[in-house]
Structure 1
Amino acid sequence: MLKKALSISIVAALMTSPAFANKDKTPPPPLKLKEYREKEIRDLGVYQLSRRLDVMSSDTADNIKRQVEENIRQKQQDIRSPDQKFKPLSIDLNNPMVQHVVKASVNYMNQIVVLDKYGNPWKIKRVGIGATEFFGHEKVDDHIIWVWPKKKYKESNIALLLEGETKPINFKIVEGPDNVDSFVELKIQGVSPNSNVKEFEFDPLELQASTAKADVNQDAMLMADGITPNGAKRLSVTMQGSELEGITAWSYRDEFYIRFSGSVISPQGKLAAPPSSTGINLYRIPRIDEILIEKNGLLMNGVQIKNL
């Protein structure tokens, strides 16, 4: 009985609600739908076609071409711009444990020239690369090879078997974005079989030129005493980021001068002042940022010369 009474109350409430109370009022107007939809679509197609057929101004066409060209440039241009350097390396055939390093970079070629100690070409019999999938090579002359990296951030080693030798020379090649040794001069500390120079006749002259007749001037004498002359600029000598003690270096007349107790192995250093009785000598070397030296009986590879 209670449920029936509750149902009657709900129905009565609904009948008196605003929705039912407004049933006699005017209904809302119907939606106004467009009568000629087909015509509108046709007109839109004609408008789009007319825009395509309109003649484009020369300025607009040039701007579009420039934008397309700029998009192609940004897509194709490599973000790398490595420094290209000349790298002389002095190779001692009797010391195969020295690890020389040649720096390469994708899109750039390393030209490697092999000479004897007098500057004569030394013929290459065979060339071997450890990872041919990462580096390619071509022998373009008897004493010249081209090497190029195929992939980024790879490394390998190169072996060269020279004419008249039974042991190959080896060096490491490393790909990177910052530096490329675009021209590498491998100067072998020996005489090529095809050399016209007779070693027993030339060696005394070479010894004389490197000692008694060293390129000595007043500025070199000052550097030999550890003094920076006018026109010279002090350089820092580091290895693995740490400053090397007992070594001073200068930049002077487009060459580097380095003073220490030891010897410069690669590139081969030339005495810039008479030998010192203290064992501290001054060497003149080409402008190169990485050298190999011998100090206190130890070979030190990757020694870097930089501005202070």
Structure 2
Amino acid sequence: MNHQQCAELATICRSIRWDVDMAPYSTFRTGGVAEAMVEVGDIAELSALLRWLQKEQTQWHVIGGGSNILVTGRYHEGVFIRLRGSIQDILLEPPDAYAAEEGVLVRVHAGCSLAAFLGWCVRNDLGGLEFMAGIPGSVGGAIRMNAGALGHAISELLESVHCMTSQGETLAVAKDAALFAYRSTRLPGEHAGKMLITAGVFRLQRADGKHVAARCREIVEQRKQKQPQGLGSAGSFFKNPEGDFAGRLIERAGLKGLSHGKAMVSPKHANFIVNTGGAVPEDIIALMEEVRRKVLQHSGVLLEPEVRIY
């Protein structure tokens, strides 16, 4: 961006930083440098931002909680957007939703963390989302990736998705109008331009908050036992191929513990690539490609990354 564009962007966004090291914004704990990062919590501000980016033909990305991304180690021109959200942005919809026998409708801002949303559910005696316990990231990121675990996906609980087009226009997409697939969500109209998820409306069930909390603790403990702890990672790196598990294929190829630079295939869970300390993005990418090549040679399956690489 030139000086004039930088000045104009600063008048639109209240929270903006320049030449940002992306490592702190990725759970991989590594990344390149972004020309600009803005944090937005207001819909009007977000609309103005997207309209300006469209007018100036400036590239932009939404990074959510940073739990499923890898930002390559170059200088990234354009704008990275983080949506701000908290439990104050969780609303019953409509206000008398608790009276609905078929469930409780809850609208959640895309920037709210999954952990905060689950905590709110516990305090408000609402269940259904327990399988997401222990998954990091934001609600918007979880919707975009159709995140899930234990045989369930977040789309099962969605009623609608609130979005904003690259022209800054808001719209609500009914669940049936969206295309949900394994670790993927496609919204109508995205072929014509990028679309940013601003909120999700979920249908939850009334439940005893103590029981919900106990189930969440149980699932989190299971994750701790099966997954590497204390190292930078993006969770499951590869999508599970149909009818199989990526971790099983990687382990059968004898790749547990395989490393490239400071990146390593976790000895604890083969579908985790971890930053053992000081890994650069290119270490992770090189290791990813080696794993894909060796699994293809061993099993005839080409693994697809679940992590989004920028």
The structure where strand makes up a greater share of residues is 1
TM range (shorter): under 0.3
TM-score, structure 2 normalization: 0.21
The structure where helix makes up a greater share of residues is 2
